[in-house]
Amino acid sequence: MILKLFFWIFFFILFYTYLGYAVLLFFLNLIKKWFFKSEKVPGQGNYEPDVCLFVTAFNERDFVKQKVENSFSLDYPKEKIQYLWITDGSDDGTPDILKAYEGLEIHHLPERRGKMHAMNRGMHFVKTPVVIFSDTNTRLGKNSIREIVAHFSNPKIGCVAGEKRIVDKKEDGAAGAGEGLYWRFESWIKEMDSNLNSAVGAVGELFAIRTELFEAVEEDTILDDFVISLRIAQKKFRIAYSPGAYAEETASVNVNEELKRKIRIAAGGIQTIFRLKSLLNPFRYGILSWQYFSHKVLRWTLAPVSLFLLLPLNILVVFENGNFDVFGFYFLFLALQLVLYLFAFIGWYFENQKLRLKILFVPYYFVAINYAEIRGIIRFLKGKQAVTWEKSKRA
């Protein structure tokens, strides 16, 4: 009996985290649409505040030209954009390449102290009411700035989260297939979160805040984008999600490179839970606490543990009495788990043999990122996640 109880606990956690929460959001948004007057999303109109396009860079010489040209091509009055680059620690010539372009404001520091230190330092140079953060290796959609500032015409909005898009290439392996699908699903959930109440955090590839709301963040912070955005939500401002403002980047070259990134994010997730623990108080933050717990906390903690414990528990339940029913739920669910793990193994084999069958890469990627979550938890508890880190290689 006790085995079945734990089986159903882990099953519920896993189902709710990866599917149930999304389904519940979908129906709650339907109810809100039917019975409540929806808040009109502002148009692009004539609202054109000055903005700062803020980019931090560490040894990005391969991406600088692309990023600067993309920044200059965005549809927004150039005289209203402050192009700010912070290049802490770069020793590959990145600052010198940037100096060749007119109109850029560059602040270089020879010492590398991590991205959060660079962001804290760089905010002292921001001269505009809105600051837009973006990574060097991403290309922004042409109308991204207009899409973002339109939301700030609503005084309740303190942060705007852009959409991250993975460029789909036929030659992509498991990392590309899995990451692309993951971000399409994640973007759908973010949009529903935002429509219901508030998006739960932002991604560093593209997000914006009201400059006045920024407060210096601890320099050992791993998930700078997430902490900055949610601390603004803690001040009772909403985080709007703007799919029309998007940042494109290529996928990691392989799952091993993606694992480096995911393990770091997982370690940062545990760090974030401790730093934003007050956000779990529903009496203070209401529905946002439920969103944060469901969308992020479960993914970073109980869901990966549940995934890997569910299989041995399922086996124990099936063989508990010595006579199992091959048509019973527990046996059929065990068979389903074994098939999915088999597909994940085949996906791993194909990835290593450089064979491309993307349908098998999805279960492999799913198992891999949950494994990364476990590794990230262990790394955080051991205190071995450095603020500075080697970036994952992108395709």
Q: Say how far apart CA 83 and CA 212 lie, in whole Å.
A: 18
Amino acid making up residue 21: Y
Q: 3-state class of 290 per DSSP?
A: helix
On the question of pLDDT at 38 being above 80, the answer is: no
Q: What is the pLDDT of residue 170?
A: 56
Angle between helices 224-233 and 255-275 (to 10 degrees): 30
Give the tens place of pLDDT for each residue, 282-319: 999 999 999 999 999 999 999 999 999 999 999 999 98
The percent helix, strand, coil of the chain (3-state, each to 5) is 55, 15, 30
- Residue 152 per-residue DSSP state: T
Q: What is the pLDDT of residue 43?
A: 57
Handedness of CA 21, 26, 29, 34 (dihedral sign): negative
On the question of pLDDT at 392 being above 70, the answer is: no
List the structure tokens of 352.
Answer: 């290593």
Q: What is the pLDDT of residue 324?
A: 67
Q: Say how far apart CA 195 and CA 188 lie, in whole Å.
A: 11
Q: What is the mean pLDDT of the chain?
A: 90
Q: What is the pLDDT of residue 44?
A: 53
CA dihedral 52, 56, 61, 62 (to 10 degrees): -90
Mean pLDDT for 155-170 is: 88
On the question of pLDDT at 4 being above 80, the answer is: yes
Mean pLDDT for 384-391 is: 68
Mean pLDDT for 216-222 is: 94
Mean pLDDT for 79-105 is: 94
Contact criterion met (CB below 8 Å) for 116 and 217: yes
Neighbours of 140 (CB within 10 A): 24
Contact criterion met (CB below 8 Å) for 51 and 79: no
| Weakest-pLDDT range from 57-71, 93-107, 250-264 | 250-264
Q: Say how far apart CA 58 and CA 295 lie, in whole Å.
A: 31
Confidence of residue 253 (pLDDT cuts 50, 70, 90): low
On the question of pLDDT at 322 being above 70, the answer is: no
Confidence (pTM): 0.91
C-alpha distances in Å from residue 195, one per residue of 32, 140, 160, 290, 385: 9, 23, 13, 15, 35
On the question of pLDDT at 357 being above 70, the answer is: no
C-alpha distances in Å from residue 318, one per residue of 10, 205, 326, 388: 16, 46, 9, 47
Where do the domains of the chain lie?
Answer: 1-38+155-395
Give the tens place of pLDDT for each residue, 169-185: 655 555 556 777 888 89
Mean pLDDT for 146-152 is: 96
Confidence of residue 359 (pLDDT cuts 50, 70, 90): low
| Weakest-pLDDT range from 317-321, 338-342, 385-389 | 385-389
Q: What is the pLDDT of residue 250?
A: 82
On the question of pLDDT at 268 being above 80, the answer is: yes
